[in-house]
Amino acid sequence: VSALHDEIRAVASQYPDPRSAILPALRLAQEQHDGWLPPEALREVGEALDLTPAYCKAVASFYDLFRLEPVGEHVVEVCTNVSCALLGAQRTLEAFEAELGIHCGETTADGKVTLRAVECYGGCGWGPVVSVDERYREPVGADDVPAIVEELRRG
Amino acid sequence: VADRLQIVLAGTEERGLTSYGEYAAVGGWKALAKARAMEPDAVIEELLASGLRGRGGAGFPMGRKASFIPKPGVRINPAYLVINADESEPGTFKDREVMQKVPHRLLEGALITAHAIESQHVFIYIRGEYLAEFETLRAALEEVRAHDLLGGVTIVLHRGAGAYICGEETALLESLEGKRGQPRSKPPFPAISGLYASPTEVNNVETIATVAPIIAMGGAEYAKLGVENSSGTRVFSLSGNVVRGGNYELPMGTSLRELIYDLGGGIADGRELKAVIPGGSSVPVLTPDQIDATLDFDSMAEHGTMLGSGAVIAIDDRCCMVQLGLRVAQFYRHESCGKCTPCREGTRWMVQILRSIEEGRAGQGDLDLLLDVCDRILGKCLCPLGDAAAMPVASYVSRFRAEFQRHIDEGACPYGDASSLARVLAPADQHAPRAAEVPA
C-alpha cells in the first residue's frame, strides 16, 4: 500500500461517502505524477476509493484542472476571458508564445514550460491575470513576460 | 470614499483581517455567541427581517431558504450547510476578496447558519484555482478550531477542479458527491433533498459573510440599509476599461455612474463608454444612456437586465460587439456540461454563427437565425447555463443591431484588427497540450 493510498484514505475519512473525496484524491495523484494523471494514477485513486479507473477518468475528464496528458515542469496560464481580454490579454499571450517559441496549448521541447489559455480566473479587476504554477500574478502585460519566462527557465 | 459604509468588508480599510486576533479586535466572533444563545428559529427570524437576498446571482431570500430546511424532529437524514465558493462567473472576483480579507467573518457566518438550521456539517466548496484563498481559509479554520469555536460542527474545505457549472447549486452537490458536475432536475430542491439526498442549505460566500453582521446589528437595522427589496450592501466587482478596477462594497441602490466614474475613476485611456455588463457576463448588456440605473434587483429588472453576481464590466468604444458576443458564447460553450441538448448544441451553433458574422461570411438571415437559436435555448434547460449564454448575446444583437448588420453588409468586421477583442484566443481553440516526449 502506497503513501498516496494512505493520504487518499485520510482525506476520504472527512466525508460520509468516500466517493466525495475523488477531486482531492485526483489532485493528490496528479501532484505525485508530474502534474498529470497517467493510467496508473487513475488506478491508484480507484483502488483507494473503491471506484473503477474508468469512473475516475470520467470524472477527471470533466474538470479543467485535471490533465490526462503530460505537461511541462511549469504551467503558465493566461486568462483570455472578457475582462482580461479588454485589457490586452491576447498581447500577453502572444508575448509568451514568442518568448517560449511555442503555440498556446503546447509544451516547450525541453519539457520546461506548458502554456495555456484559460477561462476567467477571477482576477478581472487587476487583469490581465496570469497564473504560474497555480499562483496568480496580476496584472501581467506583454512587457512583463520576458522576465517571467527567464525566471521559469532558470528555476 | 474612505468613510463609505462597509458591512462584509468592514474593518479591512487598511488591510485584511486574516487572523483571529485581528478579527476579534474589530468585534468579530461576538455574533456567534449571541446567536448560540438564541433559539435557531429566532436566528432565522433575524435573517428574514434583514431582507438578505442571496449574493451568488439568483437573489433568493436567505432567511426563507433557511426556513425550508426540515427541523431535526421531522427529518430522517442529517442536514448540511454547503457554502458555494466556486466563484467563476466572468467578471466576478468578490468572494475571493471576502475569503482573503475576512475569512473569519465567513467562518463565523457559517457557524451561525449551521446553528440556525441545526446542522453539524458544513462544506465549503472553493474553486480549485483559488489556491491562495484556500490557504487563507484553512489557516483561519485552524485558528477557529484552536479557539474551540466549532461547538461540535465540522467544517470541510473542499476544493473544486475547474468547472464553471459547479457554481450551479445542484451541479455543485453532484461534484461534492464525487461525480461529474452535471445539474440535477429540480424539484426536489436541495432544502429537501440535496447533498447525499439530505436537507441541504446552499449559500454563496458573500451571503454567509453577511450573517454575522446581521446578527450583531439585528435584522431590522440591516434592512434599513440599501433600498426596497434590495437591503444591505453588495461587494461589486468592477472590471474592464476603467481606471481603477477592483471590489467596492456599496449600499444596494448605488448607481452605475457612481461605481464606474466616482469610485472607478471613469473610462481609461480617454475613451468613451460603449456598453456596461452589470451582473457578470451572463446578463443582458446596458448602454451609456442607462448609466444612472441603480444597482439593485428591481432597478436592474426594470432596465431589462439582472444584478447577477454584482460584477460590473465597463466596455469602451474600441470593442466590437460581435467579438464580445463570440467570446462570451465561446465561454459558455466550453462550460456547457452537455446534459441538456438545447444548451450543448445551441451554444455550439451560437459560436459558429457569431464567428461567421465576425469573419464576414454570414448571410442576411443569420442575425435572425442567431436570435432563433438563443430563443430555443432560453428556459429549456435544467439549469441556467444555457440562458446565461443566450441572454447576453441576444441583448448584444438587439442593442447593437446596426453594428452586427454592418458586418454582414460589408462582409468584414468594421473594426478590423483595431478592436480590443481582436483575435482573442478562447481556451477551447488552443492546441491540445503536448509534451515533447509524446510520440507523434
Specify the pLDDT at position B78: 97
pLDDT value of residue B438: 41
What residues does B201 pair with on adjacent strands? B81
- Residue B361 banded pLDDT, cuts 50, 70, 90: very high
Q: How confident is the model over A56-88, as pLDDT tens digits?
A: 999 999 999 999 999 999 999 999 999 999 999
Cis peptide upstream of residue A139 (ω within 30 degrees of 0): yes
On whether any CB of chain A is under 8 Å from the CB of B324, the answer is yes
Mean pLDDT across the stretch A123-133?
Answer: 97
- Alpha-carbon distances of B356 from A53, B388, B391, B406, B413, rounded to whole Å: 41, 21, 20, 13, 10
Q: Which of A62, A82, A108 to mutate to test the interface with B (most CBs of B within 10 A)?
A: A82
**What is the mean predicted confidence (pLDDT) over B190-194?**
97
Please name the amino acid found at residue B21: G
User: Is the pLDDT score of B346 beyond 70?
Assistant: yes
Average pLDDT, chain B: 96
Instruction: Give the pLDDT mean for B47-63.
Output: 96
- What are B226's strand-pairing partners? B231
In angstroms, rounded to a whole number, what is the distance separating the alpha carbons of residues B209 and A30? 33
Confidence of residue B432 (pLDDT cuts 50, 70, 90): low
Residues of chain A neighbouring B237 (CB-CB closer than 8 A):
124-125
ipTM: 0.97
Question: How many CB atoms within 10 Å of residue B426?
Answer: 19
Cβ atoms of B118 and B71 within 8 Å: the answer is yes
**Which pLDDT score, from 0 to 100, does residue A97 have?**
97
Residue B239 and residue A79 in contact, taking contact as beta carbons nearer than 8 Å: no
A–B CB contacts, 8 A cutoff, strictly below:
200
With 90 as the cut, is the pLDDT of residue B218 above it? yes
DSSP state of B264: T
Give the angle B251-B257-B263 at the CA atoms, nearest 5°: 65
Determine the residue of chain A that is closest to B328 in CA distance: A82
CA A141 to chain B, closest CA, distance in angstroms equals: 14
pTM for this model (two decimals): 0.96
Contact flag A119-B159 (C-beta cutoff 8 Å): no
CB B421 within 8 Å of CB A80: no
User: A132 pLDDT band (50/70/90 cuts)?
Assistant: very high
pLDDT at B416: 87
- pLDDT, position A83: 98
Q: What is the mean pLDDT of residues B176-182?
A: 98
Question: With 80 as the cut, is the pLDDT of residue B435 above it?
Answer: no
Q: What is the pLDDT of residue B436?
A: 47
Q: Is the pLDDT of residue B3 over 70?
A: no
Whether the CB-CB separation of B216 and B105 falls below 8 Å is answered with no
Sign of CA dihedral B13, B15, B17, B22: negative
- What average pLDDT does the segment B404-419 reach? 96
Are the Cβ atoms of B432 and A105 closer than 8 angstroms? yes
Question: Does residue B131 carry a pLDDT above 90?
Answer: yes
Cβ(B148)–Cβ(A27) below 8 Å: no
Sign of CA dihedral B27, B31, B32, B33: positive
- Give A114's contacts in chain B (Cβ within 8 Å): 433, 435
B425 chain-A contacts, CB cut-off 8 A:
80, 90, 93, 104, 117
What average pLDDT does this structure show over B104-115?
98
B-chain residues near A26 (CB < 8 A): 161
Q: Which of residues 208-227 of B touch A (CB under 8 A)?
A: none
Q: What span, in angstroms and rounded, lies between the C-alpha atoms of B375 and B215?
A: 44
- Give residue A155's pLDDT band: very low, low, confident or very high (50, 70, 90): confident
Residue type (1 letter), B105: R
Q: Bridge-partner residues for B328, per DSSP? A: none
Question: Using the 8-state DSSP alphabet, how is residue B255 labeled?
Answer: B
- Cβ contact (<8 Å) for B313 and A105? no
Residue B359 scores a pLDDT above 60: yes
pLDDT tier at A2, thresholds 50, 70, 90: confident
The CA-atom distances, in angstroms, between B341 and each of B244, B346, B349, B380 are 41, 8, 12, 9
> Could you tell me what percent of chain A has a pLDDT over 90?
97
